[in-house]
Structure 1
Amino acid sequence: MNSCILMAEIVQEPQLRYTPDNQTPIAEIMVEIAGLRDDDPPARLKVVGWGNLAQEIQENYHQGDRIIVEGRLHMNSIDRPEGFKEKRAELTAQKIHLLGAGATLTTSTTPTATTSATASPTTVAAPPAPSKPRSAELSKTPAYSAAPSNNPVDYDDIPF
């Protein structure tokens, strides 16, 4: 399965165009992804949205926005004027989520927790109770006797 989720920043305004039959809108945006380490340069990637998503991209997303993109990653071959083919990665978006104002794009190998004086407490719901009593589940399992038997067990005959 080819599925990617990326957190990125839009570095170029979305460009809207249409297929040759002028029926299907296509939006392209260039995003920048932070490097893994502080000294790694950021990577740039073209993100493409089709149909209704393309119109949504054009209307709602702008340069400087921080987003989370869900989609499929693939490689494109481009003929260069120098006489060789260049391969570029491209992400076909399926969903885009706008991150809130002030969100930072950082990478970390260890989880971090942040707290705020204005943060509201979070309620965590308990898992639902089982529909059947546990004893009913146990009664369906085969019963094995722990009592010693007169027949020795031949471990070669036990199927694994």
Structure 2
Amino acid sequence: MNNCILMVEISSAPQLRHTPDNMEVAEMMVMFPGLRADDPPATLRVVGWGKTASEMHANYQVGDRVIIEGRLGMRTVERPEGFKEKRADLTVQRIYRVNGEFNLGNMATPAPAIPSYEPSIPVSTYQQPDPTPVSTYQSAAPTYSQDYDSDDIPF
């Protein structure tokens, strides 16, 4: 199974193009925070195909925060310096807009505080129900009446 879910911020607008057989392909770059607070944000190329590609191009832009579900893959890129470099790509299966704020660590402002929870039943009037009696357990394993000596065992 190859399934990856990322919460990211779009860092470059989705670019729509078509394959020779007229299949739509959209590519964009996204970023997410590094592992440590002092690490720079990581970037990842995201690719959508078909209907997903047209949706990405029409509905998403730079700065949007989204949750992307897809398949992670690796590609080899020939560098101008003369060596090959491996890069990760995420092929989008589903994309969801995040309505509201979420904290991307060193990339964004802190998320708003979580609202306080008010229980529907006041704590002072709540009474825990009486425990129910526990039934006794009877084993269904067979019992053996014959005792065996260690000499009777064939190993």
Q: Fold match, TM over 0.5?
A: yes
**Considering only aligned residues, what root-mean-square deviation do their CA atoms show, in Å?**
3.1
Report whether the alignment pairs 1:7 with 2:7: yes
Cα deviation for residue 142 of structure 1 reads: 7.6
Distance in 2 (CA, whole Å) between partners of 1:28 and 1:14 is 5
Deviating more after overlay: 4-13 vs 31-40: 31-40
Post-superposition Cα deviations, 1:51-94, rounded to whole Å, max 9, x if no partner, equal: 00000000111100111111111111111222211211111010
| 1:54 matched residue in structure 2 | 53
Q: Over alpha carbons, which structure has the higher Rg?
A: 2
After superposition, the C-alpha distances for 1:86-142 in whole angstroms (9 at most, x for unaligned) are 2111110100111113232249xxxxxx6315x7879xxxxxxxxxxxx9xx9xx98
* Structural mapping, 1:122-141, within 5 Å: none
Match of 1:151 in 2: 146
Q: How far apart, in 2, do the equivalents of 1:120 and 1:41 lie?
A: 39
1:25 is aligned to 2:20: no
C-alpha distance 104-50 of structure 1, shift in aligned 2 (>3 A) = same
Q: How many pairs were matched up?
A: 131
Q: Which amino acid aligns with 1:14?
A: P
- Report the Cα distance in structure 1 between the residues aligned to 2:149 and 2:8, rounded to whole angstroms: 61
Alpha-carbon distance in structure 1 between the residues aligned to 2:18 and 2:101: 33
Query: Which residue is 2:35 aligned to?
Result: 36
**Distance in 2 separating the partners of 1:59 and 1:26:** 12
* Structure 2 gap ranges (5+): 107-112, 121-134
Q: In the superposition, relative to structure 1, how do residues 103 and 154 fare at CA in structure 2: closer, same or farther (>3 Å)?
A: farther
Gaps in structure 1 of 5+ consecutive residues: 108-113, 123-134
